């Protein structure tokens, strides 16, 4: 039987050797502008609609999860469980180039952990440098991999994500090496790129949001993956809706673990 990733055409969108080398060395990889202008505008409209509908309850599916170890983040707009909130979000966790990059990082046996939206509000959004795992891991023993779909241009001014290339290889957490992980790291870079871009990063690389110094929220969607033997941030067996199951192919069900 074909692997579900093959059914999602991942083998037709392989990483080049230079892309693999860059991801392995630096811990992140830009896939370029994968979102068409039409899809990008439609995503913005749907996000704005959900943000207005859910208000202060936005992201409750994420923060109510027993697997989340941190309190609700202030200074941001949040939405969670987007896999259940419209077919428009399907490509953000099934795009073959995205999955090819995740496969390169985690191997073939992974699943979607969560599909969430985060928008740093004006003058807010700064995060400590952190990893998306509870402990440091040895190089190659990776458990999680994240991606950012840019709904706005990312710039230094609007609080784009920072990361420290190569730190997924150091086997240490930021607070073991830094006196204050809120401060800048001498080797950090800022992910500046145009709206519609997708960036995949090894979740064991040190990263965090920066302060949005503009008057508009800086919007992005994160499709976050984990090994299949790890719990999901958003357990889809709890949240999945029947109309979603009826609509998506078996390979997407496999990715959602339903």
Buried b (16+ CB within 10 A) or exposed e, 186-200: eebeebebebbbbbb
Q: What pLDDT score does 56 carry? A: 85
* CATH code of residue 17: 2.60.120.620
Q: Domain of 172?
A: 4-256
- 123: region left, alpha or beta (phi > 0 left; psi from -120 to 50 alpha): left
pLDDT digits (tens, 9 = 90+) for 23-54: 999 999 999 999 999 999 999 999 999 999 99
pLDDT tens digits, residue range 82-91?
Answer: 999 999 999 9
**Count of domains in the chain?**
1
Helix (H) or strand (E) holding 48: helix 37-54
Q: What are phi and psi of 12, to 5 degrees?
A: -85, -5
Kindly report the pTM of this predicted structure.
0.95
């Amino acid at each position: 039987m074909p692997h579900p990733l093959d059914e999602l055409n991942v083998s037709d969108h392989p990483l080049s050797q230079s892309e693999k080398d860059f991801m392995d060395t630096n811990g992140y990889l830009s896939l370029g502008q994968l979102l068409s202008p039409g899809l990008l505008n439609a995503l913005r409209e749907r996000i704005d609609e959900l943000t207005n509908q859910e208000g202060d309850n936005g992201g409750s599916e994420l923060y109510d999860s027993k697997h989340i170890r941190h309190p609700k983040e202030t200074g941001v707009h949040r939405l969670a469980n987007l896999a259940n909130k419209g077919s428009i979000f399907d490509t953000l966790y099934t795009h073959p180039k995205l999955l090819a990059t995740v496969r390169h990082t985690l191997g073939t046996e992974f699943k979607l952990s969560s599909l969430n939206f985060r928008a740093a509000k004006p003058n807010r959004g700064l995060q400590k440098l952190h990893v998306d795992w509870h402990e440091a891991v040895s190089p190659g023993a990776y458990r999680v991999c994240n991606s950012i779909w840019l709904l706005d241009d990312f710039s230094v001014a609007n609080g784009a994500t920072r990361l420290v290339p190569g730190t997924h290889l150091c086997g240490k957490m930021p607070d073991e090496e830094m006196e204050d992980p809120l401060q800048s790291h001498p080797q950090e870079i800022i992910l500046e790129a145009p709206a519609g871009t997708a960036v995949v990063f090894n979740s064991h690389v040190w990263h965090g949001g920066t302060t949005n110094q503009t008057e508009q929220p800086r919007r992005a969607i994160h499709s976050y993956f984990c090994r299949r033997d790890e719990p999901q941030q958003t357990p889809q067996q709890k949240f999945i809706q029947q109309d979603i199951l009826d609509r998506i192919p078996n390979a997407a069900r496999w990715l959602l673990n339903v």
